[in-house]
């Protein structure tokens, strides 16, 4: 990232579930958006202070507790606008004080920075990814060498299959994936690298994907996700 680019994205790994919290900084306006504020909000606020930005927006990839438990603490410091997808608000069912509800394809303007909202259901009905130029914040939809669980309430492995296929079709191969958890051997990756080594991108049959997602693939804390060759370790 060079100083001439209008946007910086800073990452913090916080909490017992290895969540990544991202701060999107628009340099010209001094505005920032925090994605999935959770766990240690003082660290998020400190990061904003260090960069001399004010948090004007909160973006949610989805409504699971480990991604939202810092919203109120941020709102105590900043009068920020909350963004999430309409489908996720309906699924969450929580009282929200005047959020902005989006549909896939919407754009959020953060000063000179354009943030594109992608609707990526599967982990939850209203899961979102946020695209900022050549970077994609993927929440619990696409992990580095993994993807989000589909066995929790609101999860749907068939939707996840369609979502991942659509992402592969529509996104440039050099886009950088910024996931919602630090579950892998490396914190970020490109879509191109994921096409090589992410087992969830290797399926061409829905039923086999569902079987693998629901019954085969699991995560172990002592074994971070790494690349898997097609045909290897697959049912
Ligand atoms: Fe989640």
What are the Cα distances from residue 183, in Å, to 15, 32, 88?
13, 26, 24
CA of 167 to the centre of ligand 1 (A): 19
Task: Kindly provide the b/e burial profile for residues 218-228, where b requires at least 16 CB atoms within 10 angstroms of the residue's own CB.
Answer: eeeeeebbebb
Which DSSP symbol is given to 30?
T
150 C-beta neighbours (distance < 10 Å), count: 21
User: How far, in Å, from the CA of 3 to the mean position of ligand 1?
Assistant: 33
Q: Sheet containing 81-85: which strands, arranged edge to edge?
A: 7-14, 19-26, 31-35, 54-59, 81-85, 100-102
Q: What is the mean pLDDT of the chain?
A: 94
Residue 157: its H or E element: helix 157-170
pLDDT tens, N- to C-terminus, the chain (235 residues)? 445 689 999 999 999 999 999 999 999 999 999 999 999 999 999 999 999 999 999 999 999 999 999 999 999 999 999 999 999 999 999 867 779 999 999 999 999 999 999 999 999 999 999 999 999 999 999 999 999 999 999 999 999 999 999 999 999 999 999 999 999 999 999 999 999 999 999 999 999 999 999 998 776 666 889 998 766 655 5
Q: How far is the CA of 231 from the centre of ligand 1 (A)?
A: 28
CA 2 to ligand 1 centroid distance, Å? 32
Cα–ligand 1 centroid distance for 16 (angstroms): 14
Q: Is the distance from CB of 214 to CB of 206 less than 8 angstroms? A: no
- Kindly give the distance from the C-alpha atom of residue 62 to the centroid of ligand 1, in angstroms, as a whole number: 7
CA of 18 to the centre of ligand 1 (A): 12
In angstroms, the Cα distances linking 145 to 24, 193, 200 are 24, 9, 8
Give the predicted TM-score (pTM) of the model: 0.95
**All residues at 6 or more sequence positions from 42 whose CB lies less than 8 Å from its CB, including other chains:** none
């Amino acid at each position: 990232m060079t100083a001439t680019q209008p946007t910086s994205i800073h990452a913090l790994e916080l909490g017992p579930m290895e969540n990544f919290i991202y701060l999107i900084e628009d340099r010209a306006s001094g505005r920032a958006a925090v994605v999935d504020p959770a766990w240690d909000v003082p660290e998020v606020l400190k990061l904003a202070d260090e960069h001399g930005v004010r948090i004007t927006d909160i973006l949610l990839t989805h409504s699971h507790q480990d991604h939202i438990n810092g919203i109120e603490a941020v709102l105590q410091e900043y009068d920020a606008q909350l963004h999430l997808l309409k489908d996720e608000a309906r699924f969450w069912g929580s009282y929200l004080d005047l959020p902005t509800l989006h549909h896939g394809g919407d754009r959020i303007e953060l000063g000179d920075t354009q943030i594109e909202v992608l609707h990526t259901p599967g982990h939850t009905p209203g899961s979102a990814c946020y695209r900022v130029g050549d970077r994609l914040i993927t929440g619990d939809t696409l992990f580095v060498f993994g993807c989000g669980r589909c066995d929790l309430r609101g999860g749907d492995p068939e939707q996840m299959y369609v979502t991942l296929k659509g992402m592969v079709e529509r996104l440039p191969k050099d886009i950088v994936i910024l996931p919602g958890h630090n579950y892998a051997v490396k914190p970020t990756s490109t879509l191109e690298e994921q096409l090589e080594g992410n087992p969830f991108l290797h399926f061409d049959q829905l039923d086999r994907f569902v079987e693998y997602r629901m019954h085969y693939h699991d995560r172990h804390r002592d074994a971070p996700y790494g690349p898997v060759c097609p045909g290897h370790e697959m049912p």
